[in-house]
Amino acid sequence: MMQVLSVASECAPLIKTGGLADVVGALPAAMAAEGVQVRTVLPGYPAVMQALTDPTIVLTGQSLGVPFRVLAAQVGDLDLLVLDAPQLFDRAGSIYLGPNGKDWPDNPLRFALLSQVAARIGVGAISDWQPQVIHAHDWQAGLVPEYLHGLGGSGKVGTILTIHNIAFHGLADASLLNMLQLSPARMNRDGFEFWGRISALKAGLIGADRLTTVSPTYAEELMTDAFGMGLDGVMRQRRDVLSGILNGIDEAAWNPATDPTIKPYKTTKGKTANKAALQAEFGLPTSDGPLCVMVSRLTEQKGVDLLLDALPTLLARSGQLIVLGSGATELEEGLRNAARDDHVGVRIGYDEALSHRIIAGGDCILVPSRFEPCGLTQMYGLRYGTIPLVALTGGLADTVINASPAGVLAGVATGIQFNPITADALRSAFTRLCDLYADGPLWARLQKNAMSHPVGWGPSAQAYAALYRDVAPSS
């Protein structure tokens, strides 16, 4: 059986700030179906340490001046290797941000250690287990190929880096070269240097055997200056090893027929009771227009400002809005202001169960992102018969089929896309939404199409398995 070490900074259901965790958490089960065993190495944050029962110590040592242990444990269907380094990971609050809302100052060291330890496991540091492939996720695991090279292990194990979001580079000051035990000879344009600083992501982009990202459209976008965030040149250089593999969703956790957090339903008729319950929960009156919902981190990426701008058009057509999210203060503030309208409900915070009730109760789920590597909530929407209204970008372009008149008639359309990504285009999308919603039979057809659209892992798991076989050293 193919053995793979997956390396990431988050993993659902143990520790999550966004879709990265969902994907890292779902990958092992998805890959098991393809005959691949995935073990996941994760930092030992308090939430992770608390979830371990009966761990075994499989490695003890010191790297980058930090003493650590690696604990092996099974949690649900996750086979975990937990990096226990209390000095770096045993702290309360956000996994990335300190109490001042800024990155923990030692983030470069924290995730360099994660990468270093993963590389050591890659060259056989754990006595009874040798992975054939290391699958690194995002900048937090970006230094794996670099450290592997340093350990002389490049031929011993294949490497894949998946880009979940190129906006985060994992930059560190050049003065940290020594502390991170990185070679000064590689601190240049062809190496991991990015405008005078160390870039953990770039190290992975130039060093991994293969690169993937989480949708085919984002793979193309990454090579353009509009989306590459300064790394588009590197992406173009490596276009031969880059591919886009669409995320799936966890179809057990997101199944309207069995979801314990909602009033379960098999057909869209069952949505009525969930909508009424949701309106009641947020104190919204009943209305003739569509109830739009959004569950999201509130950042520039997610286009919340566009939504606030275009909102009056939706409300004028008797539409309603419910948002669950947290993030940037000014966006939270803007949403709270919008919630003064009786037809708008806002909950600032993070709430897994509420996210299910919202997605089940909404008529339409909004994802007006400026860029979106894949996006998961539009896929939850499809599965729950909650029509996605999305910006035409990245994974949103690959998972939703736009309801052009022909598309609806042909029975293939599943949602609404808008382009360019502006408040004006969103306003017209709201108008199209309200027109469609007003046509009962057409809307029902759209919902049916959405619910039967595939959102699972099947083809993507096969694509990853093929890549693993490609990069695994021949034994």
**Does the footprint of ligand GLC cover residue 18 (CB under 6 A)?**
yes
Site residues (CB under 6 A) for ligand ADP, limited to 320-339: 324-326
Site residues (CB under 6 A) for ligand ADP, limited to 259-298: 295-297
Written as six digits, the tokens of 211 are: 């690169």
**Smaller CB separation from ligand ADP, 160 or 298:** 298
CB of 381 to ligand ADP, least distance (A): 10
214 interface partner picked from ligand ADP, ligand GLC, none, CB below 5 to 8 A per type? ligand GLC
156 interface partner picked from ligand GLC, ligand ADP, none, CB below 5 to 8 A per type? none
SS3 sequence of 327-381: ECHHHHHHHHHHCCCCCEEEEECCCHHHHHHHHHHCCEEEECCCCCCCCCHHHHH
- Listing DSSP states for 245-287 in one string gives ------TTTS-TTT-TTS---SSGGGHHHHHHHHHHHTTPPP-
**Does the footprint of ligand ADP cover residue 18 (CB under 6 A)?**
yes
Written as six digits, the tokens of 171 are: 């930059």
Taking alpha carbons only, the member of 62, 129, 60, 78 closest to residue 70 is 60
Q: Which residue is nearest to ligand ADP (CB)?
A: 19
Taking alpha carbons only, the member of 8, 22, 11, 12 closest to residue 395 is 22
Task: Give 42's strand partners.
Answer: 82
**Does the footprint of ligand ADP cover residue 376 (CB under 6 A)?**
yes
Candidate segments 12-20, 73-81, 258-266, 306-314, binder of ligand GLC by CB under 6 A: 12-20
CB of 379 to ligand GLC, least distance (A): 9
CB of 140 to ligand GLC, least distance (A): 12
SS3 sequence of 197-242: EEEHHHHHHHHCCEEEECCHHHHHHCCCCCCCCCCHHHHHHCHHHE
**Does the footprint of ligand ADP cover residue 162 (CB under 6 A)?**
no
Q: Which residues contact 39 (CB under 8 A, 6 or more apart)?
A: 3, 4, 5, 6, 28, 79, 80, 81, 129, 131
**Does the footprint of ligand ADP cover residue 375 (CB under 6 A)?**
yes
**Does the footprint of ligand GLC cover residue 372 (CB under 6 A)?**
yes
**Does the footprint of ligand ADP cover residue 22 (CB under 6 A)?**
yes
Number of residues counted as binding ligand GLC (CB under 6 A)? 14
303: left (phi over 0), alpha (psi -120 to 50) or beta: left
**Does the footprint of ligand GLC cover residue 164 (CB under 6 A)?**
yes
**Smaller CB separation from ligand ADP, 186 or 357:** 357
Taking CB under 6 A as the criterion, the residue among 7, 14, 23, 284 binding ligand GLC is 23
332 interface partner picked from ligand ADP, ligand GLC, none, CB below 5 to 8 A per type? none
**Omega into 216 within 30° of 0, i.e. cis?**
no
**Does the footprint of ligand GLC cover residue 135 (CB under 6 A)?**
no
**Smaller CB separation from ligand GLC, 43 or 373:** 373
CB of 248 to ligand ADP, least distance (A): 12
Candidate segments 59-67, 254-262, 277-285, 368-376, binder of ligand GLC by CB under 6 A: 368-376
Candidate segments 172-180, 278-286, 346-354, 373-381, binder of ligand GLC by CB under 6 A: 373-381
Cα(148)–Cα(122) distance, integer angstroms: 8
Written as six digits, the tokens of 120 are: 């050591």
**Smaller CB separation from ligand GLC, 157 or 295:** 295
Taking alpha carbons only, the member of 117, 162, 156 closest to residue 133 is 156
Site residues (CB under 6 A) for ligand GLC, limited to 66-125: none
**Does the footprint of ligand ADP cover residue 350 (CB under 6 A)?**
yes
Site residues (CB under 6 A) for ligand GLC, limited to 384-423: 395
Candidate segments 74-82, 117-125, 268-276, 370-378, binder of ligand ADP by CB under 6 A: 370-378
Number of residues counted as binding ligand ADP (CB under 6 A)? 18
Task: Give 208's strand partners.
Answer: none
**Omega into 13 within 30° of 0, i.e. cis?**
yes
Termini Cα distance of the chain: 13
Written as six digits, the tokens of 471 are: 């990069």
**Does the footprint of ligand GLC cover residue 298 (CB under 6 A)?**
no
**Smaller CB separation from ligand GLC, 144 or 214:** 214
Taking CB under 6 A as the criterion, the residue among 167, 351, 427, 456 binding ligand ADP is 351
- Strands of the sheet with 171-172, listed across from one edge: 171-172, 197-199, 193-194
The answer to whether 232 touches 333, Cβ cutoff 8 Å, is: no
Q: Which residues contact 268 (CB under 8 A, 6 or more apart)?
A: 385, 444, 447, 448, 451
Candidate segments 14-22, 153-161, 170-178, 233-241, binder of ligand GLC by CB under 6 A: 14-22
Per-residue DSSP letter, 141: G
CB of 323 to ligand GLC, least distance (A): 18
Q: For binding to ligand GLC (CB under 6 A), which residues are involved?
A: 18-20, 23, 164-165, 214, 247, 372-376, 395
Chain positions contacting ligand ADP, by CB under 6 A: 18-20, 22, 295-297, 324-326, 350-352, 355, 374-377
